[in-house]
Chains A and B, each alone.
Chain A
Amino acid sequence: MTGAPVDALQRVPLFADLNQRELKQIARLFKRRTFPAGETVVQEGSGGAAFYVIESGEATVFVAGKEYSTLGPGDYFGEIALIDEGARLATITATSELGCYGITFWDFRPLVEANGVIGWKLLQSLARMYREARAG
């Protein structure tokens, strides 16, 4: 088997509207990565290399040193720095052993450019984040 299991991606809201053929296509682009408990997965301020979907385990999100939220299976993170090639906006730490599927910038960008459904979902996600930020 190469890449991520299709059913793991299907549970991710970002990919939920894709059909099986589309899911199989993008699943091949993902690679598995495991982080031990306590490891910093991404560091606020650092450049971003990959976008991750969590398959198992939990992670905590910190913004400016303050705990912000918790992530678990089906959640995804890391897309913002890949979209604008800017710095990571948050630090994410594995609170238990964290099994992820990651896709790097060099595969993520062509994927989004070629797939309007994923692009639209990303826009909706960004719009939601913008509203949340405005609401304080």
Chain B
Amino acid sequence: MKGTVPLVKAHETALYGSKAVGLGQAMRDGLPVPPGVALSGAIVEAVAAGNDRAIKQVAKTARPLGGPLAVRSSAVDEDGADASFAGQHLTLLNVPSSEQLGAALSEIWWSANSDSAISYRQRVGLFTRPSVGVVVQALLDPESAGVMFTRNPINGADERMIEASWGLGEAVVAGQVIPDSYRIHRSGEVLQRTPGFKKIAIRTLPEGGTFEQEVQPELVEQLCLDDGQLAALNGLADRCEQIYGPARDIEWAFADGKLHLLQCRAVTRSGS
């Protein structure tokens, strides 16, 4: 059965979804994307249907990644507009190993076929059969993570806007903390750094899943990025803009002292 490729070989949006193809392109362009595999919408559906061959195939494909795994949906739709389904389709962080992938994929398939996802589709006029590809990657255990706009999305100013917090970036994306915020000129000059109020960090559990860890009091208002890390993020913003064009929305993480790119997509709203 076809439908599983190393992330670096994910080329076809109609098979693997826009997130998988975007990350595959980033790997081909030499950006620091964690290793992973892309699963097609068809194989995800076969796994959800209990097809033993498909279940064994995805487990075998993902086994070299070790564990734990981050399992993210990558919507496959006629316009390839994964962003339009943001929040509708499930992401499962910290799936312990490839042997548990079948149950995770079934959950993700059902998230795309849930009542709330179908209500959303009816509302936005996309009442078509959902197909959901999946990206499986080795899960990072980041010291810090967050989001970055390569251009100010509010006023269009030519500056990087970064939000950062301790642990996994989901705390920032889901608004569970007041993150540190930074503005950097593309020359690298730091224009502003404002500590946030980061009372919790999202961490991984040994048995799978995540939990909210209370942050040590002295770290709650301490900046979580130093000058070297800000320079690395500015460099990543440069590379992403060179490859994909201006105004990118980036998810990133620092783990084991290295910067990783988790997602890079076009900014959907801009004041300019």
Contacts and interface: CB of A to CB of B under 8 A. Distances in A.
Contacts of B122: 47, 85
A31 B122 CA distance: 22
A85 B122 CA distance: 9
Contact of B115 (A31, A32, A46, A85): A46
Contacts of B121: 47
A128 interface: no
A28 B49 contact: yes
Contact of B50 (A31, A43, A47): A31
Contact of B117 (A28, A42, A43, A49): A49
Nearest to A47: B119
B48 A2 contact: no
Contacts of B52: 1-2
Contact of A104 (B46, B50, B113, B127): B113
A11 interface: no
Given A47-B122, A106-B129, A31 B48 contact: yes
Interface string A10-29: 00000000000000000010
B110 interface: yes
Interface residues of A, number: 20
Contact of A31 (B106, B119, B127, B129): B106
B118 A49 contact: yes
Contacts of A48: 115, 118
Contacts of A105: 118
Nearest to B120: A47
B142 to A, nearest CB: 29
B110 A2 contact: no
Nearest to A101: B50
Interface string B77-115: 000000000000000000000000000001001100111
B113 A3 contact: no
Contacts of A46: 115-116, 119
Contacts of A43: 115
Contact of B49 (A3, A85, A88, A106): A3
A50 interface: yes
A32 B114 contact: no
B51 interface: yes
A14 B115 CA distance: 22
Interface string B46-72: 101111100000000000000000000
Contacts of A50: 113, 115
Interface of B: 46, 48-52, 106, 109-110, 113-119, 121-122, 127, 129
Interface of A: 1-3, 28, 31-33, 42-43, 46-50, 85, 88, 102, 104-106
29 contacts: A1-B50, A1-B52, A2-B46, A2-B49, A2-B51, A2-B52, A3-B49, A3-B50, A31-B48, A31-B50, A31-B106, A31-B110, A32-B50, A33-B106, A33-B110, A42-B115, A46-B115, A46-B116, A48-B115, A49-B113, A49-B114, A49-B115, A50-B115, A85-B122, A85-B127, A102-B110, A104-B113, A105-B118, A106-B129
The 10 A-B pairs with the shortest beta carbon distances in the complex, nearest first, are: A47-B119, A49-B118, A106-B129, A46-B115, A47-B118, A2-B51, A2-B49, A31-B48, A49-B115, A104-B113
